[in-house]
Structure 1
Amino acid sequence: MTSILTNTSAMSALQTLRAIGSSLADTQDRVSSGFRVSEAADNVAYWSISTTMNSDNKAINAAKDALGVGAAKVDTAYAAMESAIDVVDEIKAKLVTATEESTDKDQINLEVEKLQEQLSAIAQAASFSGENWMVAADDASNTVVVDGFIRNSDGTVKVTTAEFKVASYAMFGTINAGVGEEGILGSVMSIALTSSSTTGDIQVFLDQVEAALSSLTDSGAALGALITRIDLQDDYAATLSDAIETGVSRLVDADMEEESAKLSALQTQQQLAIQSLSIANSSSQNILSLFQG
């Protein structure tokens, strides 16, 4: 039976065209955005996971940037420590030379003074971003640098830090009128040779230098360990960030080859649905021929 009031064929064709249009719009969104899950309505579980992991990844990258700042501070301090060790070695060599009775101790002392000035200059120059780990203030406490970002088992986030004992490892306690005082090199700065200095006096100075070298070595070792820790954490943060990004991509990114094939198929289906609707609409007009004489 054919009805001029209700065209069931046209209604069916229209429903098909609407469904194809909706699928085509979804596919076009995926092609244009690159995401198959771009909002919660697309897939609540995947969207929730990707949102949390993307947030964590941003925090990891921020921690990685902070690691870079920390690494620069440690590298600056380590460079100063290495230079100071070289200078103290020179002072040691001068003192050994002074043990020979025929040497001019006053001239050697002039060289030692210049080396002491160099130690003060090294410590003063070892500053990065307003922090100088080689000169500890009177109220100096341990300093920390960011070395990571973790998520605890209860879901809370935490930034981890590494510690450097500035009060224990600083070359000087203070810099007074350009001259370093106290700290692990304070005793070296008090060395002063005169023409009347005895072998025993020089031996005391050598003992002070050896003690200072030992402390410098300990400080350098602490800095070296911190550098290793930061470098390892920096590499791990980069690897972890890439892994998270890859994991999120697998959840929410669209397969562009698949979406391209779907788009072509849906466009063809849409054309066929339009043609089907046109045929269904024209069937009602054919009834007019039944009333023509």
Structure 2
Amino acid sequence: MISSVNTNTGSYSSINSFGLAQNAVNSAQKRIGTGKKVADAYDNGAAFAVAEKLRGDTAVLGAANERLAVGKGMIDVAMKASQFISSSMSDVKATLVKLSDSSLSERDRANYQAQYNNQVKDIGAFVKDAKYNGVNLLQQGAQNQNIASNGSGGSVTVQAQDLESSVASVLSGADVSTAAGAAALLQPGGTFSQAEDSVGSAMNGLASNARSVNNTIKGNSSIMDATDAGLGEIVDADLAKEAASLSAAQARQQLAGQSLSIANQAPQSLLSLFQ
């Protein structure tokens, strides 16, 4: 190998080694700083594209669960109102039994009739107040609510239960001014019996819808958790390994720096030949 002051091959080699070591240090520091081995497309374009798709999938399921939570709120409010209505129906029935007694005095009948009207009015109020986010599932004309359940067009149906027409309206319009009229309401298959069946059917339907919504939320959450775990395998850095890599890269960087310093001194040694 010739000795020259114009070309220092040892310096070139040391500079290249120093640059490679610096790149390794930078990469390790980026992975430790971000906690990811694939933080952006520069790290691994194909893996980053897969990761972005998986993040999109979990975001979609998260949005679906938000909407399903709204549906759950609708059901919970309607269910609570239905339970109050069911409890009130027991009070109404007790009042009807008293009104069916033909031996009631005129004054007592008037009092029990007023009591009946107030109880039915309360049922109507429960129906009208059963609103959640502007939706009332118990009112007359209420529509079924189709709640988005995933990113593929799937949905869960929350069924409307018209207790305003089947319970509040029919009971408020019933004639309880006579013992015979009150007794007729209590007959099997009569108006009151049908209203009771409507309340029972409504609560059963709402409970079924609640199970569907809850199961869908749980299913989506499980898929999101599994997706996040798989995503972590793709993009997350092994910090213990990266710490070791950083130490090794820094050591190589120091050695390359020392090698460069030695290589840079070589041209100076040529001066001794002319002394």
Could you state the TM-score of these two structures normalised by the residue count of structure 2? 0.91
Match of 1:125 in 2: 129
Contact kept? 1:37, 1:47, Cα under 8 Å: yes
Between the aligned partners of 2:266 and 2:118, the Cα distance in structure 1 is 108
User: Equivalent residue of 2:152, what SS?
Assistant: strand
Other-structure match for 2:79: 78
The answer to whether 1:109 aligns with 2:113 is yes
User: For residues 59 and 65 of structure 2, what CA distance do their matches in structure 1 show?
Assistant: 10
Instruction: Give the letter aligned to residue 243 of structure 1.
Output: A
Q: CA deviation at 1:266?
A: 0.9
Q: Distance in 2 between matches of 1:248 and 1:262?
A: 23
Q: Unpaired runs of 5+ in structure 2? A: none
C-alpha distance in 1, partners of 2:205/2:147? 14
- Give the whole-Å Cα distance in 1 for the aligned partners of 2:206 and 2:231: 37
Displacement of 1:184 in angstroms is 4.1
Which of 145, 158, 168 is the aligned partner of 1:143? 145
DSSP-derived class of the 2:154 partner: strand
**Corresponding residue for residue 217 of structure 1:** 200
CA shift for structure 1 position 190: 1.6
Residue 225 of structure 1, CA deviation: 0.6
SS across alignment from 1:145: strand
| 1:253 shift after superposition | 1.1
Task: Tell whether the 8 Å contact from 2:120 to 2:168 is kept in structure 1 after alignment.
Answer: no
Q: Within 5 Å, which residues of 2 pair with 1:1-293? A: 1-103=2-104, 104-137=108-141, 140-146=142-148, 148-149=149-150, 157-166=151-160, 169-172=161-164, 182-194=165-177, 196-198=178-180, 201-206=181-186, 207-292=190-275
The C-alpha deviation readout for 1:195-251, integer Å capped at 9, x for no partner, is x432xx333211211111111111111100111111122222222222211211110
Equivalent in the alignment of 1:154: none
CA-to-aligned-CA distance 1:143-202 (integer Å, 9 cap, x gap): 2233x21xxxxxxx4243222342xx2111xxxxxxxxx3444221222322x432xx33
Amino acid at match of 1:236: G
Aligned length: 268
CA distance in 2, matches of 1:134, 1:230: 18
Shift of 1:136: 2.3
- Consecutive unaligned residues of structure 1, counting only runs of 5 or more, are 150-156, 173-181
Q: 1:14 to 1:25 in 2, by over 3 A?
A: same
Amino acid at match of 2:113: N
User: Between the two proteins, what is the percent identity of the paired residues?
Assistant: 25
Structure 1 or 2: larger strand share? 1
Once residues 5 and 143 of structure 1 are traced to their aligned partners in structure 2, the CA distance between those partners, rounded to angstroms, is 82
TM-score, normalised via structure 1 length? 0.86
Of 206-215 and 95-104, the range deviating more from structure 2: 95-104
Task: Find the aligned partners of 1:32 and 1:145 in 2 and give their Cα distance.
Answer: 41
Q: How far apart in 2 are the matches of 1:142 and 1:71?
A: 13
Distance 1:51 1:231, change over 3 A: same
SS of residue paired to 1:2: coil
Over 3 Å counting, the alpha-carbon distance change for 1:278 and 1:220 in structure 2 is: same
Which deviations, in whole Å up to 9, do the C-alpha atoms of 1:71-100 show, x marking residues without a partner?
A: 111101111111111111211122223333
The code of the aligned residue for 2:76 comes to D
